[in-house]
Chains A and B, each alone.
Chain A
Amino acid sequence: MTPFDAKPGRRSVLRGGLAAASLVAMPAVLRAQAPVVKLGIIQPVTGALANDGDLGRLGAELAIQDLNAAGGLKALGGARLEMVFADSRSNPETAAQETERLNGEGVAAIVGGFASGLCATATQAAARYDLPYMIDVGVADQLTQRGLRNTFRFAPSFGMVTGAALDRLVALNEAAGKPARTVVIVHEDGLFGSGLAKLLQAELPKRGFEILETIAHPTPARDMANVVLRIRSLQPDLVIPSHYYGEFVLMARTLQQQRVRPKGIYAILGGAASSLRFVKEFPQAAEGVMDCNHWPDPRNPKSAELRRRTEAAGRSFAYNVPMNYSAVWLMAEAIEKAGGADRLKIIEALSTGSFGSGVMPYGQSRFDKGQNTSAMPLNTQVQGGDVKVIAPAEYAEAKPNFPLKA
């Protein structure tokens, strides 16, 4: 942020007014030199998914701010990006309706969506108009398998996340001398949790683990006492949870209260395991929790800066911010490569080119049938009251603490 970015004083308003007046007086040809490209941002900022949507919007806002501050779209003569925001209200009908509205407002492309169900209807509405759509996180594999040529996904798909999570779990266990053999899986009964449980049930036994029990629970859960009761009676080496923030907090606190201390808690897309708020509020319950999740590249100084700016905005940092921040940068690059707001050219550029991945650890992003093939999650662990990346090695900030001492 520049110091000039403070509230508009009387003088700057006056100056702005003068500038506007001169703009009106300018001939049309000159005015066309600083064109505006509209970018649609769609997130669920009300309803059940409001928290994720709000953080996603913040990420997109920061990206557009930075892009414009850095001179706009340079390949288009410094064209400014203008955000047109849409709230999908956490329901698929509104997601489709708002996509229609964004199309009506003439956006060049759309970034966002968050949940798979919201992305499903929104991408399809956009497909009618060949409107390029970059899904931020919606994980369902099927989203990019419907033959919609306008649809791209920046984040790793469900299969990619779970594959990486599984491989790294095995590697982690082997490196520590195989201390963990028995596993209890605790998952929310939504798309991700249920799919994950099914996959782990098929894969973990092949890799030398024994699954003692798989416990599904609804979101929101009122109580985790039963889940913890079962974990306590089964005494597993490892607990693999996958659920949202509230449920993870309930579970972690109840585990601590009931003095259940497995050798490791290995979350996969855990809602709180890599949330800094959780770490701050419950340092004891959080310490040692591992998570395989979307996470920005810790070596990129911009990651830490984004975290500071998120906190300055009064929000607690989560992956939605860097994910959307980076996806907007990528879309901007695609628009530049396409040489303008022509939708088919943007789709063409996205399908063939390679792009910077902002602060996400994806190297150069390339899209195959819409899926970013370079995308991958990182493994983190709460250590000393902070979230540290522990795998893969090239991104690691710290050594894994596993098994935890009982």
Chain B
Amino acid sequence: MYAPQILIEAALNGLMTGAVYALIALGLTLVYGVLHIINFAHGALLTCAMFAVWGASAWLRLDPYAAMLAVVPLMFGAGYALQRCVIGPASGGSDNNILLVTLGLSIVLENGLLAIFRSDTRTLDSDAALQVVEVGPLLLSTPRLIGFATALAVTGLLWLLLERTDTGRAIRAVAREKLGARLVGIDVDHVYAVTFGLGCACLAVAACLLMPTFYVNPRSGAAFVLVAFTIVVLGGMGSIAGALVGGLVVGVVESFSGLFLGDSLGQIGIFLIFILVLLVRPTGLFGVRG
């Protein structure tokens, strides 16, 4: 058995990691909730965002957090354009085909990055990665604390955007009833693209929070895809609050099962919980539809 201090630290680590997972899942759940598609290109888009942060740091000497100001709009624009010019037209609105198009897109993006940046693993050489905040006997990693706070803030902002703005209302209208939304004059294609852009913007924030402590290579985003899927389902597809809670839960579960089972078998903990939740409550923790 571990000392209480270790358990507390593991729980805090789990929460901090989980918040960033939540952010990645947020993009996925948003796109799912509105477009009703499972976006296979999510991991590759995260990798793109991570490379953008790396590029901003290596070439423009931007701090990864400052880079957020550039990378977030960039990824929003890229996401908007992708949905508007590639995914939408190529899939013709059929769910199967969207699946295939996003799959094709992930192959193109991942290998495009490989062709451009080659396969090297890159890291940011910022000192910020090693800073800690001492709380009693605990050493809490500063970049992860920043990540935790930012992820919560962004989730809040996104919620406000959806609840309180016209764009948000349009997105919700399209999510609920596409045909009806079109009838009342909402430009559905535009809303789709905005939603996809927002999903990518979430990834951009996540990339900025990850890069100080993580690394990037053409496949590094893939590490987060499966876990993001589980969070989305756990929280209920399309639910913002669900993604946040799901992310935190998965983070803590992963942390503890890693502590007791080892990180390798510990991965089973996540999937078993995922399966159990679905079998008992098939709509996820916060899901509404049957």
Contacts and interface: CB of A to CB of B under 8 A. Distances in A.
Nearest to B115: A46
A222 B119 contact: no
Q: Looking at A223, A229, A316, which has the most chain B CB atoms within 10 Å of its CB?
A: A223
Contacts of A249: 121, 123, 215
B108 interface: no
A90 B17 CA distance: 30
Contacts of B263: 215-218, 221, 226-227
A341 B4 CA distance: 68
Contacts of A220: 219-220, 222-223
A177 to B, nearest CB: 31
Nearest to A186: B263
A217 B265 CA distance: 8
Contacts of B218: 50
Interface in B214-255: 214-215, 217-220, 222-224, 227, 255
B217 A218 contact: no
A332 to B, nearest CB: 27
Given A222-B223, A230-B259, A46 B265 contact: no
A91 to B, nearest CB: 13
Interface stretch (B73-81, B124-132, B153-161): B124-132
Contact of A281 (B6, B123, B222, B223): B123
A216 B262 contact: yes
B265 A250 contact: no
Interface in B3-26: 3, 6, 9-10, 13, 17
A229 B11 CA distance: 11
A225 B220 contact: no
A343 interface: no
Contact of A229 (B13, B118, B217, B267): B13
A233 B121 contact: no
Interface string B193-225: 000000000000000000001110111101110
Contacts of A53: 119
A54 interface: yes
A50 B119 contact: yes
A119 to B, nearest CB: 19
Given A245-B121, A315-B120, A46 B214 contact: no
Contacts of A216: 262-265
A48 B121 contact: no
A255 to B, nearest CB: 10
B168 interface: no
A53 B114 CA distance: 13
A379 to B, nearest CB: 24
B258 interface: yes
B262 A229 contact: no
Contacts of A208: none
Contacts of B2: 233
Q: Looking at B214, B220, B264, which has the most chain A CB atoms within 10 Å of its CB?
A: B264
Interface stretch (A77-85, A131-139, A256-264, A383-391): A256-264
B283 interface: no
A258 B139 contact: yes
A100 to B, nearest CB: 23
Q: For the side of the interface on B, what is the size category? A: 35 or more
Given A226-B13, A257-B130, A257-B139, A51 B262 contact: no
Nearest to B259: A226
Contacts of B131: 257
A229 B259 contact: yes
A277 B6 contact: no
Interface string B89-132: 00000000000000000000001001000111101010001111
B264 A229 contact: no
B168 to A, nearest CB: 31
B135 to A, nearest CB: 13
Contacts of B130: 253, 256-257
B255 A250 contact: no
Given A246-B220, A257-B129, A226 B121 contact: no
Given A218-B267, A225-B17, A281-B125, A51 B224 contact: no
Nearest to A232: B6
A237 to B, nearest CB: 20
Interface in B259-290: 259, 262-265, 267
Contacts of A245: 121
A234 to B, nearest CB: 10
Contact of B114 (A46, A226, A229, A230): A46
A141 interface: no
A65 B200 CA distance: 45
Nearest to A220: B223
A233 B119 contact: no
A405 to B, nearest CB: 19
Interface in A274-290: 277, 281-282
A46 B13 CA distance: 34
A244 B222 CA distance: 16
A222 B227 contact: yes
Interface string A50-63: 11011000000000
A220 B219 CA distance: 9
Interface of A: 45-48, 50-51, 53-54, 189, 214-218, 220-223, 225-227, 229-230, 233, 245-246, 249-250, 253-254, 256-259, 277, 281-282, 314-316
Given A246-B121, A314-B118, 20 more contacts: A45-B119, A50-B119, A50-B219, A51-B119, A51-B121, A215-B262, A222-B17, A222-B214, A223-B13, A225-B141, A225-B144, A226-B258, A229-B13, A233-B6, A245-B121, A250-B215, A253-B129, A254-B141, A257-B129, A257-B139
List the 6 closest A-B pairs by CB distance, nearest first. Answer: A217-B263, A50-B119, A216-B264, A51-B119, A189-B264, A220-B223
16 contacts: A45-B119, A46-B114, A48-B219, A51-B118, A216-B262, A217-B263, A217-B264, A218-B263, A222-B223, A222-B224, A223-B13, A225-B13, A227-B258, A229-B9, A233-B2, A253-B130
